[in-house]
Structure 1
Amino acid sequence: MNAHDRHPMTVPSEKRTAISSLWLWLGGALLVLGIFFRVYNLDYKVFWIDEANTVLRSLGYVSQDVTDTLLTGELFQAEDLQAFQQPSPDRGWDDTMTALRSSAEHTPLYFLLSRLWVQTVGSSIATWRMPAVFFSLLLLPAVFWWGWELFGSKLSAGLATVLVALSPLHVLYAQEARPYSLLALMTALSSATLLWTLRSPTWNRWLLYGFTIVVGLYSQLLFTLVAIAHALYILASELTIYKRFTPNLLRYLIVSLGCIVAFSPWLVLLVNNLAEVQRKTASLGDDRYSIGGLIDRWFRVLNQMLIDRELAGWNFLLLLLAIAALVYLWRQAPRHATWMLLLVGGVPFLALALPDLVLGGERSLRVRYLFPTVLALQLTLGYWFAATIPTKRIPQSIVQTILILFIGLQILSNTVNAQRLVWWNKSRPASTYFEPVSALVNTLPNPLILTESKVSDLLALSYWLRPDITLQAIPDVVTLEIPQGYDPIYLHNGTPETEATLQQQGIRLTPIYPVNDSVDPWLWQLEFPL
């Protein structure tokens, strides 16, 4: 597992030139296409509830601010909701830090950088999403560097970079104002820095590695699992080779202690707010699946990781592809590359999957939590494709066909996804109704929307509503006084208790969207007794 034990793949000289020339031009074109997909229709996709929460916290607000100001039972308008989605001179950086500390499960770096960016260039859906695009673009050279440090092969590193550039998963989260593209970037950057440091260990390199760990920790709490994978890699590497405590281990321990000290303010905050964090993340453990059910859903997660095209029962082909690449990695790759990819990919997955198996839940089904696993798998595939194309181990036509099909499916997925207003990463049940409901309401001269929806839902919906649309929250349906002069009057996201109370008052509720007995409506129209 020594970082010095690279053995670049042997390629005949006459083939090497042809391969390099082909992949230089083709790889460059595919990288440009991947960049295009990241910026195309950037402001078209639904700005959904998680992104609205990003804006809310970045600007120094919390949900309670909206509740106390607007959701009191008094009338308000959609533009009043949008006031909480725009920068205000009354909200400074101290307000942003206060808002971020109230949600300790989300470390603050992405939100602070987003506020800095928006204050510089202006606030719009596109500008709020630009930091995620930027981090996803930086991910490409970081993956290439990581691949080079792993395999010592430009072809392997370049192919892995192309697979990441065209990955529908990376493209989807590059266009979402959330910190997951930053998590991916710091995973690749810190891992490459670690290998670079071990290859020629100096204090300057160790300090730079420590800096990437601190930045990663402040980017996403899930990065802790990457840091654990690195620790296991270093311990196993040094102790297996030298069988004693080495200067590298000492430097690593000193740097790690410094990282813990640097991250300790947020650790203390996290511990002090542990009960609240557990409450906010409790939904991850709500659902319980059988082992067979989890395995079936992991097939879908693997599909989302690689091509994001539904293959139904043929998803097992992706598993066979992943297994083939992992077997080749284990048998042919340098030991340091094999163990780093297995640890960086395996530790995060197992840390989420084992609680799902034992306690129930869907932690490992949230593919956005698995970006380290995704990157490790994509690097493994890049190595396998690159290692087998110029050799006779497997007929070239078979491997080239697999690679072309794989890249073709990625391009197809990105092309289709780019035209979709809502896709699975936006929580379709919670976001699909924005467009049809707003299209109906916005055409009416004087509607009223009674709502029991959460703050984040209302903020996301406000991007679609006409600014003068009137709304009224329902703090208590028993004491609710519905004002006169509005027609029609709708109920938005009402609870069963509210529906029953209104019906007891003789008010008829007609489902408007969706009109489907198997789905709870998001919008009802109220018809009052004569």
Structure 2
Amino acid sequence: MGNKDKSSHKWIHPNGVKFLIIALLVLGVFFRFVNLDKKVYWGDEVFTSLRIAGYTLTEATQELFNNKPKTLAELHQYQQPRPDKGITDTIKSLAAEDSQHPPLYYIIAHYWEKLFGSELAVKRSLPALISLLAFPGIYFLCWELFNSPMVGWVAVTIVAVSPFHVLYAQEVREYSLWTVTILLSSWLLLRAMRLNTKFSWIIYAASLPLLLYTYLFSILIAIGQAIYVFVSEGWRWHKKQIAFLFASSFGLLTFTPWLWIVVNSLSSIQSTTSQFAEKVDLRSLLQIWSFNLSRVFIDLDSQGKVVNFGNPIAVVIRVAVILSIAILVGYSIYFICDRTPKRVWLFILTLMGVTGLALILPDLIVGGIRSGVPRYLVPCYLGIQLAVAYTIFMMCYAEIFPHTSYGNTGFDSGGIFSLGINSKKFSHLWRSIALAMLSVGVLSCTISSQAESWWNKYGSYYNPEVARIINQHKSPLVISSGYVPRVLSLSYFLQPEVKIQFIPQANISQIPPGFTEVFLYRPSAEKLKYRRWQQLNYKIETVYRSPPIYDYLEPISRHSDIWIWKLTKRS
């Protein structure tokens, strides 16, 4: 390498840039572990702990609905592994009631909690630790895809302070593991295609069971990889296609037992995900998509809006932020397609496109909001971040390589010169864009890290406020006839003196003696109950009703409505 190239690399890696990368990585790690036990432990996390402990929801419901007040310690027994329940019970629980969630994460979490305990911070430390593997994952993927370690470092910093990735790194769910297995499988596929050795294909084949047993939508990732291999290499039979078929067949074969369970549980899966089949108009879908896209880079409001400053200017700011992000993402995808060889842009498009289209098309054709669930779109967000990372690096530093290309892969690194714009000023503009993008990510993570609840907590969002009302009393009783995971979610914010009683709907008017303050949590058929309690000589007071979490998504808003009644015996 000549002196010019050496000086170029020195200019690309000044101490300031190195410090920035290290600082963002440190912040990314910090945000993933700070206040792990502070945010709401919401219903889906309760479900996860129920499965990890080896219980089915049916079993827990039957045991809890016995008309006896329970202490919080008694309730939390259903949230931690027990000596009489092993890993087979965890797998059976998932297979019986929740087969859309394959068991890999739950198996890991089961042994994690047996080793380290079941405190909330311990539970969440596992996905947080797993999420750190996304840093080397996306770095090596970028190196394999772009033949450039610097693009990899840009991508690592973007992922490190992405509020979306930080948010799901702190959830007792499998989404951080899914992110890692997507990156691992993608990297190993590209590596196998480049080396084309038996060992490289064996390693790729070994990654597929990890991917498939992490999340059911990994099937879409595998389909996208198949499309990528055959389109990029041509449809004629060559060694690469044959090797890929053997590797993918191995992955599918290992997943067949769980796939059989899924096929036989389709009716159960449809019933548990029925809320996402509710129809919304196209305008609402567009709003949801735009908000979800913005959350990859900026997430300043706990209720799901980009910004919420409490005045009309907020609407203008919100639209401007979303449009800016949409333009950045759209241009980055265009730039990738225009400036990189087929093997690069096709990989990114298939990574995003197969999952995206599989969710978007049913919503457009038959209705639903599946494409509005952010956690389903992890592959799309990773593809977007890859495109943005490459575009930012090329736009900031392309003038250093006006006559070279990465690894002779056909990259047009002339970049900004072909635009006829002063390259120096243009690169400074893009550095400002990159700095602004990373800054709002850090700001978003800072605000979120201090919050008790956030938009992804859905029906459990207002539990801290509900708990504060109940905790004001000395020895209250909370009565519920409803959904067990929601009540268990609330219990993590209650004082130890509070007792909870599950009573069947038909017997909910039977209050045990010895409690001066009684609360009804999320009752249904409010008007009917109101008359019933008056007849039983109780004074009834509505002490809390939650506002909607999302002002742009009516179906989920309805599911988030919470009522709390306080019952007092008349003298």
Structure 1, residues 55-77: CA drift from partner, whole Å, max 9, x if none?
11011011122211121333323
Q: Distance in 1 between matches of 2:181 and 2:484?
A: 31
- Contact 2:131 2:169 survives alignment (8 Å): yes
Distance 1:438 1:279 in 2: 30
Corresponding residue of 1:183: 178
1:369 aligns with 2:381: no
**Structure 1, 516-525 or 449-458: larger mean CA deviation:** 516-525
Residue of structure 1 equivalent to 2:117: 122
- Offset from partner CA, 1:47-106 (integer Å, 9 cap, x none): 111111111101101112221112133332322211111222111222222112121111
Contact 2:40 2:460 in 1 (8 A): yes
CA–CA distance in structure 2, aligned partners of residues 161 and 446 of structure 1: 50
2:230 matched residue in structure 1: 235
**Could you say if the C-alpha distance between residues 73 and 389 of structure 1 is closer, same or farther in structure 2, counting changes exceeding 3 Å?**
same
What whole-Å deviation, never above 9, does each CA across 1:334-390 have from its counterpart, x for those lacking one? Answer: 321110001101111111111111111111111111111111110111100111112
Q: Is the 8 A contact 2:476 2:497 kept in 1?
A: no
Matched residue, 1:342 = 349
Identity of aligned residues (%): 32
Q: For residues 451-471 of structure 1, what are the alpha-carbon distances to aligned partners after superposition, in whole Å with 9 as ceiling and x for unaligned?
A: 123110121122222334222
Distance 2:59 2:172 in 1: 21
Normalised by the length of structure 1, the TM-score is 0.93
Residues 18 and 479 of structure 1, relative CA distance in 2, 3 Å threshold? closer
1:137 aligns with 2:129: no
1:20 aligns with 2:13: yes
Offset of 1:306 from its aligned partner?
2.2
Paired residue type of 2:141: W
Instruction: Give unpaired runs (5+ residues) of structure 2.
Output: 301-305, 307-316, 400-415, 417-422, 549-557
Residue number in structure 1 paired with 2:488: 459
Partner of 2:515: 486
1:400-439 paired onto structure 2 within 5 Å: 400-427=431-458, 430-439=459-468
- Residues 73 and 480 in structure 1, CA contact (< 8 A), matched pair in contact too: no
Query: Which residue is equivalent to 2:552?
Result: none
Name segments (4+ residues, structure 1) moved above 6 Å: 515-519
1:280 — aligned with what? 272
* CA shift for structure 1 position 504: 5.2
Deviation at 1:12, TM superposition (A): 5.5
**Pairwise CA distance, 1:258:** 1.4
**8 Å Cα contact 1:73/1:474 also seen in 2:** yes
| Count of aligned pairs | 514
Matches within 5 A, 1:164-203: 164-203=159-198
Q: Which moved more, 1:42-51 or 1:221-230?
A: 42-51
The one-letter code sitting in structure 2 at the alignment partner of 1:291 is: L
* 8 Å CA contact 2:475, 2:497 repeated in 1: no
- Of the three residues 477, 483, 501, the one matched with 1:472 is 501
User: How far has the Cα of 1:132 moved from its partner?
Assistant: 0.7
Q: Which residue of 2 aligns with 1:513?
A: 544
- What is the match of residue 222 of structure 1? 217
Greater shift in the superposed pair: 174-183 or 94-103: 94-103
**Aligned equivalent of 1:303:** 294
Distance in 1 between residues matched to 2:506 and 2:167, nearest whole Å: 40
Partner of 1:389: 396
In the alignment, what sits opposite 1:205? Answer: 200
CA distance in 1, matches of 2:74, 2:247: 48
The aligned counterpart of 2:33 is 39
* Deviation at residue 431 of structure 1 after TM alignment: 2.3
For residues 336 and 178 of structure 1, what CA distance do their matches in structure 2 show?
33
CA separation of 1:520/1:323 partners in 2, compared to 1, >3 Å: closer, same or farther? closer
Report what 1:110 is aligned to: 105
- Candidates 293, 305, 311, aligned match of 2:284: 293
Whether the 8 Å CA contact 1:511–1:523 is kept in 2: the answer is: yes
Residue 525 of structure 1: aligned partner = 566
Question: Structure 2 length as normaliser, TM-score?
Answer: 0.86
**How large is the RMSD of aligned CA atoms in angstroms?**
2.0
Counterparts of 1:491 and 1:237, CA distance in 2 = 60
Please name the residue that 1:246 is paired with. 238
Q: How big is the shift at 1:110?
A: 0.3
Counterpart for residue 404 of structure 2: none
- Decide whether the 8 Å contact of 1:478 with 1:501 is kept in 2: no
Q: What are the Cα deviations for residues 167-212 of structure 1, in whole angstroms up to 9, with x where unaligned?
A: 1111011111100011111111111110000001112111111111
Matches within 5 A, 1:324-335: 324-335=331-342
Question: What is the aligned partner in structure 1 of residue 152 from structure 2?
Answer: 157
Structure 1 residue 508: Cα displacement: 4.0
